[in-house]
Amino acid sequence: MTPSHIHVPTDCHTVTEILSRVGDKWSVQVVVQLGGGSKRFNELRRAVGGISQRMLTLTLRGLERDGLVTRTVYPTIPPRVEYRLTELGCSLLKTVKALGSWAIENRQEILQARRRFDEATGTVVRSDAA
């Protein structure tokens, strides 16, 4: 049986689609930063190290489109724009924090498993960073 003949339930596609948004590197970091309250664009850019202006713009638009973030424009000169988590975004933050806690709690065990695997397979890996 070839992969094109495998039946994948519609719900799996939905989960994959949503996880690709909320699970990407930049979205997680933006959600965590907004967990502390609303922030302006440049505040977010400074807080999320290594993100380009374009990638932050795309990430915020995607999160806003998915109903996780709201964008508020204040009629000042120059205009002031703030981003904050919606109720849905706050519920995602709880899940992200739980996943982060799990990663921290299990980091050493994962690193040990990687070393055992690499030794058994003769794999050379540059870093064991989790």
Per the document, the length of the chain is 130
- Give every CB contact of residue 48 below 8 A, 6+ residues apart in sequence: 26, 29, 30, 33, 56
Q: What pLDDT is stored for residue 9 in this prediction? A: 63
Query: For residue 26, how many other CB atoms are within 10 A of its CB?
Result: 18
Residue 28 and residue 41: Cα distance in Å, rounded?
16
pLDDT for the residue 25: 87
Contact 81, 74 (CB under 8 A): yes
* Cα separation, 76 vs 82, whole angstroms: 12
Q: Which amino acid is at 102?
A: W
The whole-angstrom separation of Cα 46 and Cα 48 is 6
Q: What's the pLDDT score for residue 6?
A: 60
Q: What is the pLDDT along the chain (130 residues), one digit of tens a residue?
A: 455 566 556 678 788 888 887 888 899 999 999 999 999 999 999 999 999 999 999 999 999 999 999 999 999 998 899 999 999 999 999 999 999 999 999 999 999 999 999 999 988 776 655 5
12, 15, 18, 50, 116 from 33: Cα distances, Å? 29, 24, 20, 14, 35
Residue 93's pLDDT is what?
94
For residues 6 and 17, what is the distance between their CA atoms, to the nearest angstrom? 18
Can you give the pTM of this predicted structure? 0.77
